[in-house]
């Protein structure tokens, strides 16, 4: 039986113009001419690719790691064609066939109906003659998987993001933040949190809320300007002469995925958790003062986001956070990411969260840490198995970038870096552990604890860690998008 994995739509529509299809009497909506760019599969993060990198009529299409070469540079023309190799060849439905399973190749451009294509608002690419979708065969995600025509079904192996692949980072939007970069790569943020700065160029709202002990009143702490950094002076004046805690970190994505401390009235049925002290750590970012969310054992934040865009089931997703390599411990569990709505350890694959700690399961880490790992429930994974991952390494710098992405069915990747300089190090990019395919994500968001915290009788909340910023995105981000996010983090000037 032919199967495909589900995914949320991740890309916006291209502009369209009416053109007459050669050899037919009907009109076809074709994308307006656009720049040459990769087409990246939402299921795998790999690029549409001409097999063998050969400019030869009849060469088949497949998926392959994005590399920026000419055989991965495609252009939708105003004539409704999908051209490659600098416009010398057209994507073609083999032999003019219209049945599901038809091979997709390149051929000399001839204007015929089997060379007409359109990218739709959901990211699918349909043939003008057949009405079928460009499809990664059998929903596979490995290099060399053939691309064919298949009945459109809305699954992730039929969705393509234009312009986010290759080895070169996409140009970040002018004055943009990480979530602008993710959006430009076709993987929009569904949750965005920071006590330090706006993660969108246009965000001019609140970052977090503090509550002071002297009278239990609260104040929202916003940004100094749209797209800018936190107004720490507002917190300083409000908390002068007393102590303050951070009760909520607001979601900047507009989806309402605010993170409230477990134990608050906003998180029903929670206990065992209290809000973090607001003034434990100050820092400088963007040349101005800010505060971190400085988590100690007993602090945890949570949100049920399964109805507000946070991926569930086997839908692909990505995430990052900026944390610290100097405030860590081995307690369970300093996580940020997707967790159970039940706040129980439900099953392998029920979680998909970044873990950053000195805790290591299965003996899969080298040294004393801290390490970037994946908390997938029933295990912290430094790689794709319970054995040692030779690519794992510790990140001990003051500021650390940690990234995780998971296509939900077969592949996940872990990356880390110094958040003040340099590029990302890939720690793992390969298969999911045995028993974790497909993923069974529930769509809650956790920060500062494991998935089975914090309700009466729930798991312990023993972790320590620091959170400066982070986001969760729908879809499988390309390497180039993640490289651009890292460059943006470095440019933020954490000190």
What helix, strand, coil percent values describe the chain, rounded to 5?
10, 35, 55
- CA–CA separation, 2 vs 72, rounded Å? 27
23 within 8 A of 60, measured Cβ to Cβ: no
End-to-end CA distance of the chain: 55
Active site residue 352: no
Q: Tell me the residue ranges of DSSP E strands in 419-454.
A: 425-431, 444-447
Residues 6 or more apart whose CB falls under 8 angstroms from that of 172 comprise: 180, 181, 184, 484, 487, 488
Largest CA distance in the chain: 80
- CB of 392 within 8 A of CB of 402? no
Q: CA–CA separation, 329 vs 356, rounded Å?
A: 9
User: CA distances (Å), 398 to each of 77, 168, 313, 464, 465, in order?
Assistant: 48, 28, 35, 14, 12
Report which DSSP code applies to 416. E
Helix (H, G, I), strand (E, B), or coil: what is residue 485? helix
- Given 317, 377, 469, 479, the catalytic residue: 377
**Among 177, 255, 163, 270, residue whose Cα is nearest residue 443:** 255
Exactly one of 122, 180, 375, 452 is catalytic; name it.
Answer: 452
Encoded tokens for 326: 């100097």
- Where is 238: in which H helix or E strand? helix 232-239
3-state SS assignment for residue 315: coil
Active site residue 377: yes
What are the residue numbers of the active site?
A: 377, 452
């Amino acid at each position: 039986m032919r199967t495909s994995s589900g995914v949320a739509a991740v890309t916006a529509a291209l502009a369209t113009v009416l053109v007459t299809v050669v050899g037919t009497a009907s009109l076809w909506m074709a994308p307006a001419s656009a720049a040459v760019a990769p087409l990246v599969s939402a299921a795998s993060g790999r690029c549409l690719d001409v097999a063998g990198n050969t400019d030869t009529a009849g060469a088949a299409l497949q998926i392959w790691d994005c590399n920026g070469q000419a055989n991965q540079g495609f252009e939708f023309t105003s004539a409704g064609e999908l051209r490659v190799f600098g416009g010398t060849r057209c994507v073609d439905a083999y032999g003019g066939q219209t049945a599901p399973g038809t091979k997709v190749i390149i051929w000399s451009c001839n204007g015929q109906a089997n060379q007409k294509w359109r990218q739709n608002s959901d990211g699918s690419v349909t043939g003008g003659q057949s009405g079928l979708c460009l499809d990664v065969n059998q929903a596979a995600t490995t290099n060399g998987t053939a691309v064919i025509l298949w009945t459109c079904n809305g699954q992730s192996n039929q969705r393509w993001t234009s312009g986010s692949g290759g080895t070169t980072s996409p140009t970040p939007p002018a004055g943009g933040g990480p979530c602008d970069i993710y959006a430009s790569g076709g993987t929009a943020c569904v949750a965005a949190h920071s006590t330090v700065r706006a993660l969108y160029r246009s965000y001019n709202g609140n970052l977090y809320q503090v509550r002071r002990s002297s009278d239990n009143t609260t104040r929202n702490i916003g940004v100094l300007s749209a797209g800018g950094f936190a107004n720490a002076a507002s917190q300083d004046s409000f908390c002068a002469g007393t102590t303050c805690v951070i009760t909520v970190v607001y979601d900047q994505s507009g989806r309402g995925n605010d993170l409230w401390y477990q134990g608050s009235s906003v998180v029903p049925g929670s206990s065992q958790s209290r809000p973090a002290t607001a003034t434990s750590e100050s820092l400088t970012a963007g040349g101005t003062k800010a505060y971190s969310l400085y988590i100690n054992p007993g602090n945890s934040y949570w949100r049920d986001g399964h109805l507000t865009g946070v991926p569930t089931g086997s839908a692909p997703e990505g995430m990052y956070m900026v944390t610290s390599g100097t405030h860590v411990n081995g307690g369970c569990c300093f996580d940020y990411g997707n967790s159970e709505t039940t706040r129980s350890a439900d099953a392998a694959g029920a979680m998909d969260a970044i873990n950053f700690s000195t805790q290591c399961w299965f003996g899969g880490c080298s040294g004393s840490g801290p390490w970037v790992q994946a908390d997938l429930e029933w295990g912290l994974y430094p790689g794709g198995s319970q054995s040692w991952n030779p690519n794992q390494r510790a990140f001990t710098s003051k500021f650390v970038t940690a990234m995780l992405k998971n296509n939900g069915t077969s592949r996940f990747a872990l990356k880390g870096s110094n958040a003040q300089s340099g590029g990302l190090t890939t720690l793992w990019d390969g298969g999911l552990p045995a028993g974790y395919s497909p993923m069974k994500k529930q769509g809650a968001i956790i920060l500062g604890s494991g998935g089975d915290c914090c309700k009466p009788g729930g798991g312990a909340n023993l972790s320590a860690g620091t959170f400066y910023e982070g986001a969760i995105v729908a879809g499988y981000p390309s390497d180039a998008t993640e490289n651009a996010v890292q460059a943006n983090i470095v440019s933020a000037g954490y000190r």
